[in-house]
Amino acid sequence: MSQPYDAVIAGAGPAGAQCARDIAARGYDVVVLETETEEEFPSRSNKSTAGTFPSTMSSFGIPDDVVMNFTDSVVIESPNHHYERTQSGAVLEFADFKNWLVEEGRADGAEYWFDARVSKPLMEDGEIVGVVYNGDEEVRGEVVIDATGPSAPLAKKLGVADLERENQAIGIEYEYEGVDVDADGYADLTDAMMLRLDHRMAPGGYSWLFHTGEDTAKVGVCYLQNEGHRENARDGFTIDDYLTNWVDTDPRFENAERIAGKQHRGSAHIQLPTGLSTDNFMAIGDTVPSIDPLWGEGIAKCMRSGRAAAATVDACLTPDEPDTSAEATSVYDRLWHEDVAPKARYRLIMTELLYLGSNERYDRLVSDLNRLGEDTLKRANEGNLRALFGLLKARDVPLVAKYTRNQLSG
């Protein structure tokens, strides 16, 4: 039997690849198993809008050559209004970004096994000691990390993840050329990331347009199967229908054409994690899940979770007597709550309240943001309760009551 790796990682997304990169840089032996073949990677897992911010670029050393466009602002649209906030950002070419992460990890010594589908944990004496892949192949590790996203074949079987179907968000995105990013009657979206709250386009969620340079943009729709969706959905409409309807009815897309081969589909769960780690094991990225529930930002969260797991591997394996027990790996739990997703519960509440709002309420929200200024949004986004309550009105009492009823019935 071959010597086990220090760490075995299932999944080569931003979380798994960043985790491998950090573990290898510390001098440990790490292998990443990825379902796709190396030739096609990441064609089937190229599902992120890939908008991020300077803090992420600098924290992880992301190079400019994987950036499609640097942006200057974030725009929030409602059916009849818009609010613009100055905020530097970057829209990444997600496939190039993922391949760069693999190259970085390999340069530090990480191994990558492509065309390797992980199916279940390899167990001995009730503890995970590796993974089973491609039917009956096995590889062992001192620590095993699940970075496979919502499929979570390891975390689910170990009882660490309990991803609930009703909390699953689905999304679709196309890339277009011929987009009018500065159309009359709309916000100027030149070098901007735009999120639109409008149940006609995305019942129970949001739609977006991220400018990727000149007349091109990433355009998509995402929603949860929540009460906001059930109340506003159109009979027989699929998520593809909502995106098509938006493009067909919005004058900004009058002359737009889809760019061939640039279609991305994906899903993620918007919920609090039920678990993060156990003996010899951690779950990272969208396996947990780590996506920001309010704005859908995932790259930074996933990479931070990978970095937290790598730091935990180091803490577990550094002592003369390595300790990978549940108590030792719980360091990751603390880092996740402190550094990866602080105030996760608060942000989830804000998200659930937001999706219950009506289109008229979205118009009032955007009007209030224009009146109160960006400091209010910044403080509410950081978890300041006074700022949040400043955005709520007496007429929102029925909305809060509906939210409370949903929580009690759940």
Q: For residues 286 and 302, give the distance between their C-alpha atoms in angstroms, rounded to a whole number.
A: 7
82 and 189 together in one domain: yes
CATH number reported for the structural domain that contains residue 191 in this entry: 3.30.9.10
Residue 103: which of 157, 61, 132, 162 has the closest Cα?
Answer: 61
Structure tokens at 237: 């409409």
Phi-psi category of residue 331: left, alpha or beta, with phi > 0 → left and psi -120 to 50 → alpha: alpha
**Amino acid symbol at 211:** H
Could you tell me which residues come within 8 angstroms of residue 146 by beta carbon, excluding any fewer than 6 positions away? 10, 11, 152, 153, 154, 155, 160, 161, 281, 282, 283, 284, 287
301 and 250 together in one domain: no
Reported in sequence order, the residue ranges of 93-156 that DSSP labels E, i.e. its strands, are 111-113, 118-124, 127-133, 137-146
For residue 55, being part of any structural domain is answered with no
Give the chain's domain count: 3
110 and 34 together in one domain: yes
241 and 114 together in one domain: no
Residue after which a domain boundary falls, among 269, 287, 310 = 269
| Helix or strand run (H / E) with residue 400 | helix 397-409
10 and 99 together in one domain: yes
Q: Residue 141 in contact with residue 61, Cβ under 8 Å? A: no
Q: For residues 71 and 107, give the distance between their C-alpha atoms in angstroms, rounded to a whole number.
A: 30
For residue 376, being part of any structural domain is answered with yes
26 and 155 together in one domain: yes
286 and 331 together in one domain: yes
18 and 121 together in one domain: yes
Q: For residues 194 and 78, give the distance between their C-alpha atoms in angstroms, rounded to a whole number.
A: 11
Report the predicted TM-score, pTM, of the whole model to 2 decimal places.
0.90
Q: Residue 271 in contact with residue 348, Cβ under 8 Å? A: yes
336 and 226 together in one domain: no
For residue 136, being part of any structural domain is answered with yes
For residue 150, being part of any structural domain is answered with yes
Quote the domain boundaries for residue 399.
345-409
Structure tokens at 258: 């889809």
Residue after which a domain boundary falls, among 269, 304, 322 = 269
For residue 58, being part of any structural domain is answered with no
189 and 132 together in one domain: no
240 and 191 together in one domain: yes
Residue after which a domain boundary falls, among 341, 356, 383 = 341
Three-state secondary structure string covering 181-222: CCCCCCCCCCCEEEEECCCCCCCCEEEEEEEEECCEEEEEEE
Each of the 410 residues of the chain gets a pLDDT tens digit; together they read 567 999 999 999 999 999 999 999 999 999 999 999 999 998 765 566 788 999 999 999 999 999 999 999 999 999 999 999 999 999 999 999 999 999 999 999 999 999 999 999 999 999 999 999 999 999 999 999 999 998 999 999 999 988 777 777 889 999 999 999 999 999 999 999 999 999 999 998 999 999 999 999 999 999 888 788 888 999 999 999 999 999 999 999 999 999 998 888 887 777 778 899 999 999 999 898 776 655 666 789 999 999 999 999 999 999 999 999 999 999 999 999 999 988 777 777 777 778 888 999 899 889 988 988 777 767 766 666 666 666 666 566 565 656 566 655 55
239 and 354 together in one domain: no
Residue 175: which of 119, 225, 125, 217 has the closest Cα?
Answer: 217
CATH number reported for the structural domain that contains residue 104 in this entry: 3.50.50.60
